[in-house]
Amino acid sequence: MASYKTLEFDVLVIGAGGAGLRAAIEASAAGAKVGVVSKSLLGKAHTVMAEGGVAASIGNVDDRDNWRVHFSDTMRGGQYLNNPRMAEIHAKEAPARVLELEAWGALFDRTKDGRILQRNFGGHKFPRLAHVGDRTGLEMIRTLQDHAIHKQIDFHMECTVVTLLKHDGRVTGAFGYYREHGQFVVIRANAIVLATGGIGKSFSITSNSWEYTADGHALAYRAGADLMDMEFVQFHPTGMVWPPSVRGILVTEGVRGEGGVLRNSQGKRFMFDDIPDLYKNQTAKDEEEGWRYVTGDKDANRPPELLTRDHVARCINREVKEGRGSPHGGVYLDIAWIKEKIPNAQEHIKKKLPSMYHQFKELAGVDITTEAMEVGPTCHYVMGGVRVDAETQMSTVPGLFAAGECAAGLHGANRLGGNSLSDLLVFGKRAGEHAAAFALGQTGPFPDANAQVADAAAWAEEPFARDQNGDNPFRVQHDLQAMMHAKVGIVRIDSEMREALDDLKSLGERSLAAPVSGNRDFNPGWHTAMDMRNMLTVAEAVTLAAVERQESRGAHFRDDFPAKDPEAAKFNIVLRQGSDGAMQVVRTPVVARTDEQDAVIKEMG
Amino acid sequence: MAKTIRFRIKRQAGKGAPVRWDVFDVPYQDNANVISCLMEVRKNPVTTDGAAVEPPAWEAACLEEVCGTCTMVINGRVRQACTALVDEVGVQKGDVIEISLEPMTKFPLVRDLIVDRAKMFESLIQVKAWVPIDGSYDLGMAPAQDDEVRKLRYELSRCMTCGCCMEACPQYSDKSSFIGPAPIGQALLFNLHPVGQTLQGERLETLSDEGGVTGCGNAQNCVKVCPNGVPLTQSIAEINRQTTVHKFKKWFGLTA
C-alpha cells in the first residue's frame, strides 16, 4: 500500500476561510487539539474577496435596528425556506461576533463619533453592514489569521482532502494529499468541521476562486450526510468576461445605478424589450426618464437596468443565447456614454465608481470612462449545502460539522448581501465549540481505518494507470462547466435539465476514463481529476433538486413554472445517497416557525 | 500584424534542482495580463523549440489583487501577476512583447514560480502580531481611537502577506537574521491597538534583538514595491523610536 503520513487531532477543520478559522479558534479555546487543512494558502481563501460588509444589527447608524428586524429581513430574503432557528441565532449573535472581531484587532470604517459605521444593502431594512471600504473580507481574514496562528493550531496548507474516514457511523478522520508533492496524509480526528465554501467552479463563469470545487458538499454526501436546498444557486447579472483571468469577477450594481446602460452587439438597449407587468408602473418608459431617475429626479421611474438581479441576468442570458452578445460572450455595459449628458463625465465616473475604474484599468486595461465593459451573469454563491442542526452545526453524521457556505439552512431560497460574512462568524464559532465538545467526549484509541485508507489511496492513484490516449481532465472539467452554465444556469426548464442529467452520466464516464500523466509531484492534471468527482456529485445534486422544484422562488427560476407555488413553500429538498449508491431526492417539511418567530415576522411586516 | 507575447519562464523542480529557462509564445490578445497568458500556456505547454513540457507551476487565487497569492518577479520586478498587464510590463521588440517570469528568491522554492511563504507567518508569531484575548463573551464596544492613529492603523492593516517587500529588501535574506519589513509593520499595527498594546513590551524586546529593526539598511525598496501602500518605512522608523524609548525605560527600571 502507498505510504502516508499520519496526523492526530481532536478536531480537524477542513478549509481556512472565515468559517474554518473561526471554528478552529473556538475549538482551540475549548481545549481541543486542532488541525486545519486548506487547499490554498493561509490568508488567501475566498473570504478575502468579500467586499460589501458583514451584516449585524448593532444599530450604530439607525438605532431602530435589532435582531428581530434582521431575522425578519433574512427570512423574507430566503422566501421562508430558511431554517428559522438558524436565522434567529444568526441575527441574535452576529453583533457579538463583529464586536469580538473588532476586539481582536479588525478595523472598520467609523461613524463621526467613532463607532462602527454601517451601510445600506439590498434587502436589509436599516443600514446594517459593518465594513472597511470595499475590503471587509481581507480585514476579516487578516484578523482571524493573526489570531489563529497564535493559538497552537496546526496548519497544513495546500492540502486537499479526498475522503472522510468513518467507524460505526461516525467520522474518525480524513484522507488527503499535499498538493506540492502529492504525499498522502491520514488525519485522525474525532470531530471534523467542513468549511470548504461553495461550488462555483461547476459553472463556466463564476466569481468564485479555483478552490470552489464543492469538496465539502461532496465529502459530506459520500460520508452519508444530507445535502439540502441545492437548487438555490445565486447568479449576479454582471461579472467581467474578458480577459480570461478575470472572467466572473463582479461588476457592482453601482455602475447601473450611476447611469450605466446595457446594450447588445447591435447597439440596442435591450432591457426595454422585456419589462415584467408587475414592474411596468415603476419602470421608466424611455431612456430620457431613466436618465432623470439616476440623476436624482424623484418623480422619474428607474431604468430597466435596475430591475431585479434575476431578471437582468435572464435578459442578458437571452441576448447572448440568441446571438446578440459581445465578442467574448457577454453584453456591453456602458457608463462612458454619459458624456453626452454631463460635462466632465470622465472625472465624474472616476469619482463615483473608483473601485470599478481601477478594477477594469488594472486587471484588464479597459478605461471605463471611454469604452464599454463586457459583462455577463456570473455564478456567485450557493445557498444549499450540508444539512445541519441549527444549534450545533452537526450534520446527520455524528462528529461531522459544517459551517459557512458549505452548510445549508440560514439563507433559504436566496441570500442577502452581508449575511455570508456574519454566517461565517456566528456558525463558524458554534461549529468549533460543538465539534470540540463532541471530540473531547470520545474516549479510546482511534479505530482501525487501514482498509478505508487503502481504498482511498488506490482510488487516488488509479488515474495514472488509465489508457493515456483518453480525454484530459481539464477538458472534461471545461465541458462540465459549459454544460451546467447552459442547462442548469440562470434560467431552467425541465427538458434541458433532463438533458443535463444524461450529460452528467457521460461526463462521469469520461471523467473516469480521463488519464493523468506523470506522477503525484505537483500535478495540476491530477488535482483536477481528484476534484472532478466532487464537482460531478454536486452538479447532479443541483440538477436533481432543480428538476424537483417545479416553481420559481428566490434564486431558482423555472421558465416552465415562472410563478411561486404555495405548496412548494412547505418543503426543502434533501439529497442523500441511497443504499444502491444512487442519489435520492426527498421532500422534507420546512422547519416550523415558533409562535414567537411568527409574531416577529408579522410585526416587522 | 500578428503580435506575439514571448514568455521566458524560470523552471526548477524544487530547491537545488537544475534550473532551465523555457520560452513560450502566446498569441497577442487585447487586455491580456500575465495570469491570463499563463492560463493559455497551461492549455498548450509547448516551448518555442517545439518541446512539449509539463505546464509551468504557478499559483493564484482571487485574481483581483486582493490576496497576494500570485506574487512573482516579472521582468525583474516583484509584483502580483494578476494585475501585470502585458502592454504595461512587457518589453516590445518589433512584433514580440518579451516578459520574463521568475519566482521570488527570498523564500524557499517549491517549484517553478511557486515559493513557500510560511516564514512570513512565523515572523508574525515572533512579533506577537495579535490581540491576546480569548474566549467568547460580551466585549462591548472597543474604545474610541484618535483619528490619526486610526488612519495609520487602517493603512497598516492593508498588508496581505504577499511577500513583495521581503523580496525587494536588500537586507532580508538567508544570510541575514533581519526579520523584514512586513512583520515590523504588523507589530506597529498591534502596538497601536488599545488591547494589543499589552504585548508592546514583548514585541519591542524581539525587535530590539538581533534581527530586529536595526537590521534595516534604509534602502526604502519595500514601500516602492508594496502593492497596497502600507507605510513600511514609517513603521520601521516608529518601531525604532519605540524600541529606543523601551530601552531607556528599562535602564531606569520603569518597565518590567
Identify the domain containing residue A309 by its residue range.
243-377
Res. B159 pLDDT band, cuts 50 70 90: very high
Question: Are A104 and B158 in contact (CB < 8 Å)?
Answer: no
Domain with residue A12: its CATH number is 3.50.50.60
**Res A52 pLDDT > 90:** no
CB-nearest partner of A518 from B54, B59, B193: B54
Share of residues in chain A with pLDDT > 70 (%): 100
Q: Total structural domains in chain A?
A: 3
Q: Residue B146 has what pLDDT? A: 81
Q: Residue B138 has what pLDDT? A: 59
Vertex A309 angle, CA A305 and A310, to 5° = 115
**Residue, of B71 and A134, whose pLDDT is higher:** B71
Residues A484 and A359 in one domain: no
Q: What is the pLDDT of chain A when averaged over all its residues?
A: 94
Question: Are B154 and A46 in contact (CB < 8 Å)?
Answer: no
Res. A292 pLDDT band, cuts 50 70 90: very high
**Res A1 pLDDT > 90:** no
Residues A79 and A226 in one domain: yes
Q: Does A5 touch chain B (CB under 8 A)?
A: no
Domain with residue A492: its CATH number is 1.20.58.100
Question: Are A365 and B153 in contact (CB < 8 Å)?
Answer: no
Helix (H) or strand (E) run with residue A293 in it: helix A287-294
Res. B139 pLDDT band, cuts 50 70 90: low
Residues A355 and A390 in one domain: no
Q: Residue B135 has what pLDDT? A: 60
Q: Does A146 touch chain B (CB under 8 A)?
A: yes
**Res B14 pLDDT > 80:** yes
Residues A298 and A373 in one domain: yes
The last residue of one of the domains, among A393, A415, A440, is A440
Residues A204 and A79 in one domain: yes
How many Å apart are CA A140 and CA A132, to the nearest integer? 10
Which value does ipTM take for this structure?
Answer: 0.92
pTM of the model: 0.93
pLDDT, tens only, A480-523: 999 999 999 999 999 999 999 999 999 999 999 999 988 998 88
Residues A426 and A344 in one domain: no
> For residue B114, what is the nearest residue in chain A, using CA coordinates?
A180
Q: What are the start-end ranges of the H helices in A374-493?
A: 419-440, 450-461, 473-487
**Mean pLDDT within A559-573:** 96
The last residue of one of the domains, among A440, A465, A482, is A440
Q: Residue A112 has what pLDDT? A: 86
Residues A504 and A525 in one domain: yes
Domain with residue A294: its CATH number is 3.90.700.10
Res. B220 pLDDT band, cuts 50 70 90: very high
Residues A69 and A13 in one domain: yes
Q: Residue A356 has what pLDDT? A: 87
pLDDT, tens only, A393-447: 999 999 999 999 999 999 999 999 899 999 999 999 999 999 999 999 999 899 9
**Res B161 pLDDT > 90:** yes
Question: Are B67 and A138 in contact (CB < 8 Å)?
Answer: yes
List of domains in chain B: 4-111 (3.10.20.30), 117-251 (1.10.1060.10)
> For residue B43, what is the nearest residue in chain A, using CA coordinates?
A474
Cell reading at B149: 492613529
Share of residues in chain A with pLDDT > 90 (%): 82
Count of residues for chain A?
Answer: 605
Calculate how close chain B gets to A468, using CA atoms only, in Å.
15
**Res B140 pLDDT > 90:** no
Q: Which residues of A are catalytic?
A: 236, 256
Calculate how close chain B gets to A200, using CA atoms only, in Å.
13
Residues A225 and A248 in one domain: no
Q: Residue B16 has what pLDDT? A: 92
Q: What is the pLDDT of chain B when averaged over all its residues?
A: 92
Question: Are A243 and B36 in contact (CB < 8 Å)?
Answer: yes
DSSP 8-state class, residue A265: T
CB-nearest partner of A245 from B63, B111, B144: B63
CB-nearest partner of A243 from B29, B189, B195: B29
> For residue B117, what is the nearest residue in chain A, using CA coordinates?
A41
The last residue of one of the domains, among A392, A417, A440, is A440
Calculate how close chain A gets to B26, using CA atoms only, in Å.
14
Q: Do A427 and A90 meet the contact criterion of CB atoms below 8 Å apart? A: yes
Between chain A and chain B, the number of residue pairs with CB atoms below 8 A apart is: 166
A536 occurs within a structural domain: yes
Q: Do A140 and A125 meet the contact criterion of CB atoms below 8 Å apart? A: no
Residue B255 sits at φ, ψ, to 5 deg, of: -135, 155
A412 occurs within a structural domain: yes
Q: Do A269 and A224 meet the contact criterion of CB atoms below 8 Å apart? A: no
Residues A349 and A371 in one domain: yes
SS3 B39: helix
Residues A102 and A219 in one domain: yes
A602 occurs within a structural domain: no
Chain A residues with beta carbon closer than 8 angstroms to that of B84: none
**Res A260 pLDDT > 60:** yes
Provide the b/e sequence for B195-233 (b: ≥16 CB within 10 Å).
bbeebbbebbbbbbeeebbebbeeeebbbebbbbebbbb
pLDDT, tens only, A271-289: 999 998 878 888 999 999 9
A591 occurs within a structural domain: no
A587 occurs within a structural domain: no
Q: Residue B106 has what pLDDT? A: 97
How many Å apart are CA A496 and CA A307, to the nearest integer? 26
Bridge partners of residue B6, in order along the sequence? B25, B98
Q: Do B230 and B159 meet the contact criterion of CB atoms below 8 Å apart? A: yes
Helix (H) or strand (E) run with residue A587 in it: strand A583-589
Using only C-alpha atoms, chain B has a radius of gyration, in whole angstroms, of 22
Residues in CB range of A95: below 8 A, 6 or more apart = A56, A57, A58, A67
pLDDT, tens only, A331-375: 999 999 999 999 999 999 998 888 889 889 988 889 999 999 999
A446 occurs within a structural domain: no
Bridge partners of residue A187, in order along the sequence? A7, A174
> For residue A137, what is the nearest residue in chain B, using CA coordinates?
B66
Q: DSSP assignment of B158-225, as one string?
A: T-----HHHHH-TT-STT-----HHHHHHHHHHHTSTTGGGGHHHHHHHHHSTTSGGG-----HHHHH
Chain A residues with beta carbon closer than 8 angstroms to that of B190: 105, 146
How many Å apart are CA A500 and CA A541, to the nearest integer? 12
A25 occurs within a structural domain: yes
Residues A432 and A458 in one domain: no
DSSP 8-state class, residue A179: T
